[in-house]
Amino acid sequence: MSAALNRTPWLRPRAVRLLLGVLWVAVLGSAMGVVLVSHLCRQLYSELAVLEQQANEHQVEWGQYLLEQSSWASLSRIEQVARENLGLRAPEEHELRVVRP
């Protein structure tokens, strides 16, 4: 069997050790890559969760602004401001004029 190993140059003990060393370095490099990618994935997922929470808070705030806007623009509020601040009132019957074509 040792004669067969000597005939094939790539199976010599030194070549085998070198190949095993290269493969060992490749396995370690691959493992470090997996660790790095896992860390980055967790970090990005954490950032995504924070951003989703902020988006939900902004959505709630937007809804509150819409409610506030609709309350400020309601007809009863406009009529109240017109009466109190501008002194406007509905015309009396004798103050109405009918314009005919």
- Domain limits of the chain? 2-87
Mark 53-92 as b/e (b = at least 16 C-beta within 10 Å): eeeeeeeeeeeeeeeeeeeeeeeeeeeeeeeeeeeeeeee
> What pLDDT digit, counting tens, does each position of 7-57 carry?
666 567 888 889 999 999 999 999 999 999 999 999 999 999 999 999 999
pLDDT confidence of residue 90: 86
Residue with the two structure tokens 């009132």: 89
pLDDT confidence of residue 60: 97
Please, which pLDDT band fits residue 74 given cuts at 50, 70 and 90?
confident
Please, which pLDDT band fits residue 73 given cuts at 50, 70 and 90?
confident
Please, which pLDDT band fits residue 75 given cuts at 50, 70 and 90?
confident
pLDDT confidence of residue 8: 62
